[in-house]
Amino acid sequence: MPESAVKSLRERARDGAREHIATEAMRLFLEQGFDATTIDQIAAAAGISPRSFFRYFSTKEDVVLGGLSSQGEAIRDALESRPAEEGPWEALRAALLTLRPLGRTREEQLAIGRMIHETPSLRARSIEKHLGWQRLFVPDVKRRLGIPSQDHDDPRAHAIVACVLTCLDVVGEFWTRGDGREDIADLWDRAVSAVRS
């Protein structure tokens, strides 16, 4: 069997194991709370040793928020595909609205949102992940503002992206607090309008 095929099988097995652990962990988090759930409990539910848990996840927080890095890359790709003449605020809004939680019911999204916003370690980790998004989005925003990529003295692109990510965090919290009754795009538009006024 070719090495590439073997690697592909290994990767698929690893991805499957990671998904299984994450599913069991999320079930426990939602049933008994994030802080009350131990790595030993997650490992037992997933049928692995606690040591094996750390082959797939660095921390409990990464089980909940590990996908944010790939989501950031997907948003960056959507941003870069927006029309060149579109302004940075409009392009970022359109790119962010492509982000949809896959395979989660509205109730699950709300429960996960509450858990993130009510657990200090998850909230801090989420903000840290969003700072990684800032590095991904700034180059395209600089291009839209006509700022040369090598110009490191102009703060405008960084400021816009930082505002956008703060609005995203606030909107997520308010959507969760309101039990998802408000349209998230409407909340977004109201938050950004206040920042830009």
pLDDT in tens, 99-149: 866 567 888 889 989 999 999 999 999 988 888 999 999 999 999 999 999
Measuring CA to CA, how many Å separate 92 from each of 133, 171, 181?
12, 15, 24
Is 47 in the same domain as 90? no
pLDDT at 1: 45
Is 18 in the same domain as 45? yes
Is 103 in the same domain as 51? no
pLDDT at 13: 80
Is 160 in the same domain as 96? yes
Cβ atoms 62, 119 nearer than 8 A: no
Is 36 in the same domain as 79? no
Structural domain boundaries enclosing 123: 67-196
pLDDT at 7: 63
d(CA 122, CA 179): 20
Cβ atoms 159, 127 nearer than 8 A: no
Is 144 in the same domain as 173? yes
Which of 174, 191, 57 has its CA nearest to residue 113?
A: 174
Which of 69, 1, 71, 57 has its CA nearest to residue 24?
A: 57
Is 40 in the same domain as 116? no
For 73, the token pair is 């890359």
Is 45 in the same domain as 141? no
Question: What's the CATH number where 14 sits?
Answer: 1.10.10.60
Question: What's the CATH number where 166 sits?
Answer: 1.10.357.10
Is 28 in the same domain as 117? no
Q: How many domains does the chain have?
A: 2
Cβ atoms 50, 32 nearer than 8 A: no
Which residues of the chain fall below pLDDT 50?
1
Is 117 in the same domain as 161? yes
